[in-house]
Structure 1
C-alpha cells in the first residue's frame, strides 16, 4: 500500500512547484511546468516562504522510522531513499541530488536539477531554448503561451483565461484566477459542498468557498489521511 500511495502522492505534489493540466482534489488545477518533487503531502500545503507567507496547511504525509521507509523509486531516481529524510516520524523530500537523477527518472537528457522559481529544494526542470520546447499540445494549459524559457528551464506561467481551465477539466465549473502571484485554475462554488470529493481529506469540511472559488484548508485529522493510506498522518 505504501508504494502505491507514495507514487500517487509524488504525482500530486509534483504540481505544487509551478503548477498538471487536470483537476486535483485540492480544488485547483495546476499546470505541470516541470518542477517535479517527491515531497510528502497531497493537496498543495507547502505554504511558501517569506515573512508574510501564510502558515503551511496541514497535509497528509507518509509516516516513517527511517528514510528507507520513504523511498519508492529505483536507486538513482528522485524518489529513492537517498532523497528523503525521516524527520519527526514523517517523510520529508530533500529534492533531487543531481541532474543525473532527473535524467534517470524521466528517461531523457532534457532535464536539470536546480532550486529555481521559488522551489525550496533542488527540483527537476525540463530544459529549453524557447517556450515552444516546453509545450504539450495535449493540454490547453500547457501551450507555448503558458510557458517562459527562463534561464534555460521551462517555467509555467499559469492559465491565460478561464476557457483554458474549462477545456482542460472538461467542465464549466472552473475559472482562471490569480492567487499568490500566479494565475491558476480553480473549481467554482457557492458552498464548500460544491468542492467536495468522495475522499475524506477532500470532503466538504476540508474546504472554504471564498469569492466563488474552492479553497482547500488542509487535512483535519490523521484518520482522514489513514482512510487514503494506513501509513499516512496529518501534519
Structure 2
C-alpha cells in the first residue's frame, strides 16, 4: 500500500513539473500584445510629429533654400563712407560783412554774400537795379541793357545784356577769340556765356601761356581761359604764390591746404584752411 501511495505521489510531481505555468503564459500574452500595439502605433504616427523629416511625395516641389544676408561683412564695406572733401585757403568769415572787399560795388557788397561754415559764398546779383547801377555807363555807351540773369554761366545770378540773338552778346563779329560769336548763346532773352572752344581762342593776341580748361561752377561745368603751366611757378601771381599750386597736365591746379597757419603764412593772414 505504501508503495502504491509513493508511486502516485511521484506521478503527480512529474505532471506538475511538466505542465504549463499559467502566470508565465499571461505575462507572455501581455508582452506580445504590447509589442503588437507598439507596432500599430508606429505605423499610424505622423512623421512631422516624430521629429523626423518627411520624405517628399511625387507632388511636392523641392523648396529652394532662402538666402540670408552676409552678416560677416565689415559695416564699412557694406556702406562705405564718402571721402572727405579737400580744403583750400579761403577768406574766413563769421558774418557776410567779412567777405566784402575794399573795392565793393552794388553787386559785390554785403548783401551779395553769405557766410556758410566760415566760408564766403557769393550769391550774385539780386536785382536789375543793381545791374543798372554797375553797368549804367556801359548801357549809355553801347545801348546794351544789363539785367540780373538767374541763369548765369557761373552758377549764380549775374548781370548780362538783354538779347534776341547770340550775336548781340558777342564782343565782336569774329570767331577767333573766346568772347565772340561762337562763345555765347541767347536764352530767355538774356546773354549766357557758353565758354571757350579751344586753346587757340584763349591764345588769341599772343597769349601763348593760356589754355581752354574745364572748371566746375556749382552744378555745371564751363570751359574758361586759364593760365597754362610747365611748373607751379608759372601759376603764381601777386596774390597767390607758387606754394599754393600744382601743375598737372599743363594746367594750374589749386593745392589743398595743410592748416590755417599754412594759409596765413603762404597766402594771406586773413585766410584759413576751409
Q: TM-score range by the shorter chain?
A: 0.5 to 0.7
Residues 81 and 173 (structure 1), Cα distance of their counterparts in 2 relative to 1, 3 Å cut: closer
- Structure 1 residue 77: deviation in Å? 1.3
Q: Which runs of 5+ in 1 are unaligned?
A: 1-53
Q: Secondary structure at the match of 1:140?
A: coil
User: Is 1:155 the counterpart of 2:184 in the alignment?
Assistant: no
Q: Provide the rounded CA distance (Å) in 2 between the counterparts of 1:200 and 1:143.
A: 29
Larger relative contact order (C-alpha < 8 A, sep ≥ 6)?
A: 1
Alignment of 1:12-23 (within 5 A): none
Structure 1 residues 116 and 206, CA gap change in structure 2 (3 angstroms): same
Structure 2 Cα separation of the partners of residues 147 and 220 of structure 1: 39
Q: Is the 8 A contact 1:174 1:185 kept in 2?
A: yes
Match of 2:242? 203
Report if aligned partners of 2:198, 2:212 keep a CA contact under 8 Å in 1.
yes
1:172 maps to which of 208, 226, 233:
208
Tell me the C-alpha RMSD between the 2 structures: 3.8
- Count residues in correspondence: 179
State how far apart, in whole Å, the 2-side matches of 1:79 and 1:149 are: 25
Q: Is the 8 A contact 1:178 1:184 kept in 2?
A: yes
Q: What is the CA–CA distance in structure 1 between the aligned matches of 2:229 and 2:201, rounded to whole Å?
A: 18
Change (3 A) 1:225 1:132: farther
1:207–1:148 distance in 2 versus 1, CA, 3 Å: same
**Structure 2 counterpart of 1:91, from 117, 120, 131:** 120
Offset of residue 202 of structure 1: 4.7
Q: Offset at 1:222?
A: 3.6
Measured after TM superposition, the shift of residue 75 of structure 1 is 9.6
Aligned residue among 139, 142, 145 for 2:182:
145
| Secondary structure in structure 2 of the residue aligned to 1:167 | coil
| SS of equivalent to 2:202 | helix
Instruction: State the TM-score, normalized to the length of structure 2.
Output: 0.51
More helix as a share of residues = 2
Cα offset for 1:179? 6.5
Is the contact between residue 160 and residue 183 of structure 1 (CA under 8 Å) also seen in structure 2? yes
| Aligned-residue offset at 1:147 | 1.3
Within 2, Cα distance between the matches of 1:119 and 1:163? 22
Unaligned runs of 5+ in 2: 1-82
Counterparts of 2:267 and 2:244 in 1: how far apart (Å)? 16
Q: CA 1:199 to 1:152, structure 2 compared with 1: closer, same or farther past 3 Å? A: same
Bigger Rg, structure 1 or 2:
2
Question: Partner residue of 2:253?
Answer: 215
